[in-house]
A and B are shown apart, each in its own frame.
Chain A
Amino acid sequence: MSESVALVLPAKIGSGLLSIASQIGGVAMLLGQILARLNPRKIDRHELFRNLHRMGVRSVPIISATAAFTGGIMVIQAAPFVEQFQATGFIGWAATFTTFREIGPLLIGLIFNGRVGANNTAELGTMAVTDQIDALRALAIDPVAYLVVPRVLAMVSMMVCLCVIGDAVALGGAMLTADLLLDVSPQLFWSSAMERLEIWDFWVGLIKAFLFGLMIALMSCYYGLATRGGAPGVGRAVNASVVAAAAGIFIADYCSTFILD
């Protein structure tokens, strides 16, 4: 019994590691294919604008709603300590700093992953299992150039834009909550933020948003195109894509926070 466990366990670990290595390799190869096709004259503009609209513009309401509440929650959480130490003058800076650098891109990234990334994997996965990807290839149309490149460009650029919008709305929510809860006027909130905040704090958030957008785009396209096995396969691909992209976001966040600080 113990002998079989001793054999099975390393085999399972080995096969798991091989599977992870194969997926990382697949994502890296897809990135290479995308970079090789980034010729502005050959990008399908119709597909690009269609994806910019459905992935970006249609995400604004949910991103805004979440960001507004998040800004408010940050102030609610900080309120007892701020009041205890009589540091209400710092609340504007604290909320802005954490929103720009961390909470904004991270939260928007996770919502974007759930809404746009999952949808993208499901769509490409359905196309894969119904032979539509093969149909494109049979029509001499490169699926990476036609389907993947416009989606990746749309997801990355919209993630950055949504981060800017989300940051602004979150600050609005924080400002309103600070006014109602701590009696910190919007003017005091704003001057507190502007006194201590650096432009680099804003850029750090945008760099993170770019990285998170790229992570979501690559994972969702890779798992979508690699889907096999009918409708259950699409479900598995969506699950794998969302989990892998979320893990990728946190790893990218950790590394970028370490490097950019």
Chain B
Amino acid sequence: MPLTPETKLRIYRHMYAAERWEAMLLRLIEEGVVSGIYHAGRGHEGSEVGAVTALRKDDYLFYDHRGCGHLIAKGADMVALYGDFLGNELGSTRGLGAGIVHVCDPEHGIMGQSGTLGRGQLLATGAALSAKLRGTDQVSMHFFGDGSSNLGTFHESANVAGAWKLPVIFVVQNNGWAVSVPVEYSTAGGGFARRADAYAMPGVVVDGTDAFAVHEAAVAAVERARRGEGPTLIEAKLARMRGHFEGDPDNYRAKQAQGDNDPLVKTRRRLLEEGVVDETYLGKLELAVREQVQAAVDTARQGKMPERKRIFEGLYV
């Protein structure tokens, strides 16, 4: 089913929000109030937003460390997000922050992130098992990179998901680089989507810079999962437009012409070319997003840093 103009606009709005949100975060990093461990998501907005917008509020998201597009699209509050990065009490974890944050918002199905790579695959599969056992039609979506696809956790998760037909969607964001190691060097088999076949699930390759294509693939995967037909692996090919983390010299790869890989530029152009909206409309939408981002950061910066007692809170029930 072709995407409605409303869906296309919703996707673009979240992508633009993710990009503007991140641009502001980078300023906070430069200012020295946020840790440079942040792993920028520039270039990944299309796959993260395109896929997550196929989910319902009660579906589960186990996100990855790359940017915040998936979180923003799932409904994370921007003030809380900045609060998490600032490490103050307005964050979703009330000050545990920062750098690679563990944002959490159970009301929006934002179930957290594993700092150790690959492990989210296991938890997302477990959440899908839970949905199946409880007899709901919820699905579980997990993002990870080409690097994390090479952990043994992937095999254990994909095998169980395929064997038990669990409603989980694995989104491999293949940007070609596991920190400094290129995928051609590290990975056998000629692509991640091909692996899906071994686990009895569809493996779909999409242009990860084409948010609408990602969305269509994700909608098909979600519908399949809700029908009880099991998991899908979506390999979104895209380019990481910044270093692995802020401060990465990024001197191990050739500088790329970024315009062609920029999902934001591409999506905006398509909205205009397809006549979904005009320049004036987009200008207004973008202004509203920028104002939202500015208001969020202004509010978040008012948050108090936690006291030492925060260290001991929330460990046990």
A and B found bound together:
no
